[in-house]
Structure formats: C-alpha cells, structure tokens
Structure 1
Amino acid sequence: MTDADAIRHGAHARTEVLHDRLRELVSLESPPGDTARLSRCADLLEQWGTAILRRPARRITVDGLPHLLWPATDQRVLLLGHYDTVWPAGTVDEWPYSVTNGIASGPGVCDMKAGIVQQLTALELLGDTSSVGLLLTCDEETGSPTSRPLIEEQAARSRAVLVGEPSTESGALKIARKGGSVYRIAVKGRAAHAGVEPHRGVNAAVELAHQVLAVQALAADGTSVTPTVLSAGTMTNVVPESATLAVDVRAWTAAELDRVDRMIHAITPRLADAVLTVGGGVNRYPLQPELTRPLFRLAQEAARALGQPEPEGAWAPGASDANFTGSVGVATLDGLGGVGGGSHSRAEWVDVTQLVPRTALLAALIDRILTAPTRHPHP
C-alpha cells in the first residue's frame, strides 16, 4: 500500500499542475456532437493519459465520436469519466476560464473537467497503475448512445468503478442515483381550416394537451414525470395535423421506472380519430446504494488515513454513466470529481482549493482497492 503521507505530499507538490491542466482543458471546448472539437480535446487527453499511464490509449471512434480507453490486463479498477460538455462552440470566448477567490468558473469546469484532471493526477501518485483502466467518453451529455456498450464491457471486466462526476456542493460522494427514461409521444391528427371549418379537423395540439396532463399524473412520491419539449402546428389558420411531446422520467427504483414505462406505452388518444405513437423507454436504471457502500467505506478509511474529514454520502437525483456500471452488478462509487455546483448553467463552479485533497483521496482509494485481499469489496 502506498504511504498516505507520500500521497498527500505528492498531491500538494502537483498543485500548480492541477491548476494548469484544468485551465487548459476547460479552455479547449468539447461541445456535444462536435467531432472536430471533440477530437482536438481527445488529442490533449490522449497525450496526458499515455504519458502518465505509460501505455497507449485505444481511440474508439463510433459515428465520428472519439472515446479514449487505456485498458488494463488485470483490470481491478476502472476510472470512468466524460469530456464532452453541454456548451456550444464559442461559449469559452464569452465565458473564459477564470479563478476568483479560490472558485473556478468556465464551461464544463464542474461537469466534469475538474474530475478528469483529478483522475489523471491521482494516477501519477500511484507507484503501479498496471491494474487500473481509464475510460474517457464524449457523449455522456447526450445519453451515452455510442459509449454505453464500451462502458458496460469495461465495467464487467473490473472489480470496481470510480466515476469522476462532481461531488455535491458540500463535497459529499454520490452513493445512489436515480434512474431515468426518455419518451417521445407523436400525435397524428387531421388538418382543416381553423376559421372556416375547424370541426372537420382533428386538433393534434388539443390531443397533446390531454397527454401532457395524463403523463404528468403518472408521477409519484420520489418519481418525477416531466413534460419537456412540445411542438404543434404550422400556421395560425390551420388546425394542427401533428404534434410531439418529450417526457423525462426519474425514479429511485427499477420497479418505478418499469411502472411508468408500462403506463406511458399504454396511453390512448382522447380525441376521436387521433393517433398516438410512443417511442423511447428506460435509458438508465438507478444506481443502488448496496453497490456503492463497500467503496464508500474504503473512501472514508482513505480520508481518515490522509487526515481529511470523512466524506458524507448523498443520494443524487440526476443520472450518470455510473448507472450503467451499477446495472451490470459492479461495485461503483460516483461523485469523486470536483467539489462544485451549478452544472449546465452559467453559474457552474469548482472550488480549486479542493483539487489537491480530492486528488489525494482518489489516489488513496484506488490504492486501497488494489491492495484489498478479496476479489470484490462486499456490502
């Protein structure tokens, strides 16, 4: 086991490196689906990761999107992160990376470029990284459609997965996450002149309004069913012939996601001659606390050894790629990235004074997993 003092001092010695890497990574934009900019960001991360791990990355490109994987032969730990952000190209020009009174701001600084910088620097603090894999994807913000098979494959060959998504604003690690579903409901009606003979039409917008209220009524305690994007109609004097509705669902249990899924797929039209088509389904099942507790305890032990306060655990309403790794039954701990908040908003921030201690905590946790005597940490 690597000495806790060595990890602590090593992290402190890399303070400037942590700050410089975060500035460079945030300044290099990685908008969703922008293959050119994502590739440039991947180039930088590949350079850093290969130098640190001393083994080449596999660049796995799917539909033009470059994911980076440094696999380990005996993969005891997988570090998982994503380098795409929600911010369109040009955002950094009007909102550049900055640090004021220990708080860093900039597009993607919290979600989750600080986490990637901490992951890479933590690997530098370990004497032997031959059993640690690193996977950095670039489509998490759009639902991980191309990276999900890769995530699940690498998780299945690992003993534990550590995810670099941000912690809570107070620094709590994420020991449970809601699962999520996404649906698209399409309505087909019949067009007619809105002024002369509206009765000859089937108003898709009115049908959609009924369905907005119907799906929202499926919500329950702890389960949200939220209508989000709606569209209908083409001109002000035409009865809408078509309409669409997007629905976001979040729940703490698989049973709740399945209940809502059955009921949404069973909805029927309210207006005569209207036709409904329902697409979508469960995207991520919940991350359950029984899969996080063993690693959470190790993280608390590591914090004590480093002389840090024990991190608390939080139940997070949002989903991440940790939901995928937990769903394949692999011990998973999330929230090991930057201490910050405001993700997906212009108020996004990270406490840069926490970069060093959180990097040390991650390195010490990896070290404890690598030296654990059992094949899997048990609940």
Structure 2
Amino acid sequence: MNVDTNQMLEDLRTVIECESPSTDLVAIARSADTITEIGKRLFGCPPERIVIEGRTHLRWRFGIPRVLVLCHHDTVWPIGSLIEHPFEIDGDVLRGPGSFDMKVGLVMALHAIAALPNREGVSLLVTGDEELGSPSSRQLIEDEAHGCGAALVLEASADAGALKVARKGVSLYEVVVQGRAAHAGLEPERGVNASIEAAHQILTVASLGDAALGTTVTPTLLRSGTTTNTVPAASSFAVDVRVRTLAEQHRVDTAIGALAARLPDAVLNITGGANRPPLEESAAMELFARASRLAEELGIGRLQSASVGGASDGNFTAGIGVPTLDGLGAVGGGAHAINEHALVSAFFERTRLVHALIAELIHEFAQTGPTASESAR
C-alpha cells in the first residue's frame, strides 16, 4: 500500500475540525456530511445514510459483507473545544479533540479500504452515538456483523500501541427506594427511611464484586432526601458493573434482580441490565495472531495485546459470535482529556497494517464462498 501521507493528514484535519459531540444531532449530521465527501472522493460512491432516532450513521457496503470495519464519528468534546485544543502537529505528535478517540482510526479505515485492489466483501460502518453507549446503532451493528467472518474495530490502541483482545462487558442499573416521609424531630418512627434502606442495598450490591475474576460492581450516583428535617421518602443509586465473562454478567444480573428490601414497608424498583456483553479473548486471538504476523512482514515490529475495562462496539460483534479484533486505530493517549494526542508515524504504519489485514481476510473468505446467512442478505 502506498500511503499518501499529505492527503491523509489533510483529511484528518478536516474530520477533526468538524466538531461532532454525541449529544448534538445537528453537529453529528454535519460531521456525516464531511465524512461522506471524503468517502465519495476515495471510494467513488456515497455511503448509505442511516438516521435512527435523529442520529446519523454511515455505511459503505461492497458486495456481501465478510469483513466488517467499525468506526464512530461522535466524540465527547463540546462545540468550541477547538479554541483551546486546536488541531496541530508538533513533530510526531498530532493533537485535536477526538483525535485519539477515534478520528484517527476513522481516517485510517477510509484510506486503508480505498487502497484495496478489490473491496468486494468489505463493509465500513461509521456510527454516530458510540460515546453514549450506541443506543440507536447497536441493532445496526449486530445486523451488519451477522454472517461476517471478522470484525475489525479501529478504536484507539491500549498503552504503548497494544491491540485490544479483550474488553469487559458492561451492565448498568438504577435501584430506586420508596420509603415514607415523616418529621425527623417530632415523629421519625412514623417514617420509612429510604436513605437507610439504600445504604443496606449499596453494601449488598458492592459485595457482588469478585476481584479474582475481574468483576467490579460499583455503586455510583446517589440521590436521597428533600430537607434536613424530613425522613427521606425516596432514594436512588446507580450501579456500574464490569465483567470479563458472560457467566459473571449473568451471575451479577441475577443477584441484583433478587435484591429485597430490608426495612418494613420499604419498596425497591430495579431497572437496567446488560449494556454490552464482554469481548472475550477467545473472540480475538486468531485475528491478533494474524495481525502480528502481518506487522512483522511489514516491518512494523512486534505487536502487543491488552485486556481493558472499557467497552466499545466490538463488544456487540463479539457478543454475537463474530471474531473481533479491537484497538487497531490510533497510537497515543489522553482519550477525553486535554492532552489527547496520536502519533503521526503510527497513523501511517497502522493504516498499512489494517489494509493488509483486510486484504488477506477478504481474499481467504472469497475462496470459501458465502455462508447461507451471508447469501440471504
């Protein structure tokens, strides 16, 4: 692959300078317009524009998909962030809001696919709500992944450029306690203290973690009470769960669903559940071995692997049984922080790697022919 470094950097500047906070539907639509124009120039055709619940996603599909390339164009940065955090390049370091997470990976995907001599069998999906947990795009991602032999996620790499071969699954809950108000000084015994009930439940929930298995169960946002002299009639707290395996996700879900009130007349209402299944190593190791071999052949050097606590859209593809390799995007650091940055040299190297990986996969899949589910698309 011959990398047009100047054009890649110019496209990256264009994408970064088109600010795209997840919560701003107009900005996301504008960002989709920008990416569409770059893709039309590179691919010679526009994407399918998919708007779900007001959020704009893009899909280029070349033939029957066998390899799904996943990116997102939304960021956590609000409009105006460019003022204090402009796009700039200083030696081998480039900066800008959303550069590391994950606009470098997006531009990598566009150029890596554009350089393929044959794109048949590739689908590029660029979603617009990943930073929110992919509420409108999850079904789209899973539908597109069905029948694919591999999903490549161009999220940023882990520390020192390591590819992500495992990600924890995420479950999110809210526990709401209904008690009964009473005057805290005159007749507190007539009340049902929702704060005390919540305290019992928080301790129970926190005990569900298992450090040996990598399971964390963390009570987070807590709300309770109305005034300093009133027995709280209502309380609520959020719970963040991270797990390495589906078995642990199911265990914790069952336990949280079985919570019972400790105080007489207190009532619990529990909502939420699994947000993303775990990406287990078994889903990634064959692809990681393949990428490692290609990196050596390309002179990039030895690749490292990492397991991380954060989730991505790769959790969804792995969750439905599609081999998935994550962290193929930017090498750098500072995601969501003012020091967000990516390395220019790795930008070009990783694009060559992604190009080679896609090319090899679609060539091999073409030899085997489509599966029944693929032919049914």
Aligned pair 1:20/2:17, yes or no?
no
Moved more, 87-96 or 28-37: 87-96
Does 144-153 or 337-346 show the bigger shift? 337-346
Residue type at the aligned position of 1:32: S
Give the Cα–Cα distance (whole angstroms) in 2 for the partners of residues 97 and 210 of structure 1: 49
Whether 1:141 aligns to 2:131 is yes
Change in 2 beyond 3 A, CA 1:16/1:195? farther
Contact 2:67 2:121 in 1 (8 A): yes
Q: CA deviation at 1:279?
A: 0.5
1:94-113 alignment runs, 5 A limit: 94-113=84-103
Gaps of at least 5 residues in structure 2 are: 371-377
Q: Deviation string for 1:215-271 (max 9, x for gaps)?
A: 111000210011111111222332222111111111111000100000011111222
Deviates more, 1:69-78 or 1:223-232: 69-78
Deviations 1:139-198 (A, max 9, x none): 111111110111011101322111110111211111111111111111111122233333
Aligned to 2:329: 337
Matches within 5 A, 1:1-379: 7=1, 10-11=2-3, 14-220=4-210, 221=212, 222-372=214-364, 373-374=367-368
Following superposition, the deviation at residue 36 of structure 1 comes to 0.4
Distance 1:198 1:103, change over 3 A: farther
Q: Is the 8 A contact 2:120 2:362 kept in 1?
A: no
Task: Give the Cα separation in 2 of the matches to 1:223 and 1:296.
Answer: 24
CA contact (8 A) 1:302 1:368 kept: no
CA-CA distance at 1:127 after TM superposition:
1.5
Q: Percent identity?
A: 46
Q: Distance in 2 between matches of 1:205 and 1:91?
A: 39
Residue 298 of structure 1 contacts residue 368 of structure 1 at CA under 8 Å; is this kept in 2?
no
Q: Give the distance between the partners of 2:8 and 2:185, measured in 1 at CA.
A: 65
- Would the aligned equivalents of 2:93 and 2:342 in 1 still touch at CA under 8 Å? yes
The structural deviation recorded for 1:346 is 2.6
Q: Which amino acid aligns with 1:323?
A: N
Shift of 1:374: 4.5
Assess, with a 3 A threshold, how the Cα gap between structure 1 residues 96 and 233 changes in structure 2: closer, same or farther: farther
Q: Which moved more, 1:92-101 or 1:179-188?
A: 92-101
Q: Is the 8 A contact 2:150 2:323 kept in 1?
A: yes
Query: C-alpha distance in 1, partners of 2:202/2:95?
Result: 37
1:307-344 Cα distance to aligned partner (Å, 9 max, x none)? 11021221122111111111111121111110122222
Residue 47 of structure 1 deviates from its aligned partner by 1.3
Which stretch has the larger CA shift, 162-171 or 120-129?
A: 120-129
Deviations 1:83-128 (A, max 9, x none): 1112233333332233334222332111111110111111232112
Supply the distance in 1 between the matched residues of 2:53 and 2:155 (Cα, whole angstroms). 24
Give the whole-Å Cα distance in 2 for the aligned partners of 1:218 and 1:66: 38
How many Å separate the matches in 1 of 2:119 and 2:83?
Answer: 37
On the 8 A contact 1:159/1:375 being kept in 2, the answer is no
When the two structures are aligned, how many residues end up with a matched partner? Answer: 366
Does structure 2 conserve the Cα–Cα contact (< 8 Å) formed by 1:187 and 1:244?
yes
Partners of 2:192 and 2:79 in 1: CA distance: 41
Amino acid in the other structure paired with 1:219: G
TM-score scaled by length of structure 2:
0.93
